[in-house]
Amino acid sequence: MQSAADIVFDAATKTYAGSAEPAVDALSLTVPAGEICVLLGASGCGKTTALTLVNRLTELTSGDIRIDGRSIREQDVIELRRSIGYVIQQAGLFPHMTIEENIATVPQVLGWKRSRTADRVRELLELVGLPHKEYAGRYPAQLSGGQRQRVGIARALAADPPIMLMDEPFGALDPVTREHMQDEFLRLHEQVRKTTLFVSHDIDEAVRMGDRVAILAKGGRLLQYDSPERILREPADDYVARFVGMDRGLKALTLRSLGELKLDPATGDDEASLRTGDTLRTALSALLAGGAERLPVADESGRTVGSVTVDLIREAA
């Protein structure tokens, strides 16, 4: 097995053609071999750009990235990509190929013997928790979203690359499946220890997955690069504190339902669109979207039982 490699961003800069400002501006950071580094930040701050600079799907404008001391600029791009597993949000599986054929793509390109490829597919399906007998012959459309992501991960691991790039790999999954996949990936990582760059915009996911978290602002500006504990406990500046805090606050609202609040009495006889089973976040969105000061709330049978305001939600939070 190839051992993991460290990744060094050295003033890595990307300015897209026609853009006045760099999407990633002189980013410098080191991901130690075998660790998971999460790139975290608001939409458009340059996370995906930073990630794809590594496998040269995006070419550097200036600066450098080195893998185990070797500049990516000096490597043949095909060879470079073979040493890097790449997982994206929608798994990117080939729909007309079976699961087995999908996972075997890279070993085949590398000219592995049939038996070696078949063994590897079997081993990988096992590793990501999909029994070979049941899944190898299926097509991607015959799998759930979570299962497809597992196949995407297996495919990325097929040629045993020292590096994994993961771009919001669980972003399209429902929250329960998502947490499950996060745990599974961590378990898998314990076994394979690939150096992993993982893009997320979710602080909870970052804290859970990352050995280190890099908080980026617009232009790929690195605001803080630390362990999750330190990011939460000692945010480097107000922006980081707000970013971490705001997301946490909104998250907290999704954990509570209107049924847990002491609602105001109902006023007027508008039909209620909110139910007691709705989360506080849903209620807040409804209030803000409609520009309403107050909205009626019904129980599950549709009987109006009270009303909710932004103030009530704020007090509860």
Ligand X SMILES: Nc1ncnc2c1ncn2[C@@H]1O[C@H](COP(=O)(O)OP(=O)(O)OP(=O)(O)O)[C@@H](O)[C@H]1O
Binding region for ligand X (CB under 6 A): 16, 19, 23, 41, 43-49, 201
Residues 304, 270: Cα–Cα separation, whole Å = 9
> Cα–Cα distance between 316 and 263 in angstroms, integer?
11
**173/292 Cα distance (integer angstroms):** 31
Nearer to ligand X, 88 or 121 (CB): 88
CA angle 18, 7, 25 (to 5 degrees): 30
**Residue 52 C-beta: closest distance to ligand X, Å:** 8
Is residue 239 within 8 Å of 273, Cβ to Cβ?
no
How crowded is residue 169: how many other Cβ atoms within 10 Å of its Cβ? 27
Smallest gap from Cβ 219 to ligand X, in A, equals 8
> 91 vs 295, which CB is nearer to ligand X?
91
Least distance (Å) between residue 174 CB and ligand X: 19
Both tokens assigned to 256:
């509570």
In the complex with ligand X, the residue whose CB is nearer, 50 or 232, is 50
Compare residues 23 and 72 and give the one whose CB is closer to ligand X. Answer: 23
CB 130 within 8 A of CB 94: no
- Please state the closest distance from residue 15 (CB atom) to ligand X, in A: 9
Q: Which is nearer to ligand X, 143 or 214 (CB)?
A: 214
- Report how far residue 47's alpha carbon sits from residue 211's, in angstroms, rounded to the nearest whole number: 17
Shortest distance (Å) from residue 275 CB to ligand X: 32
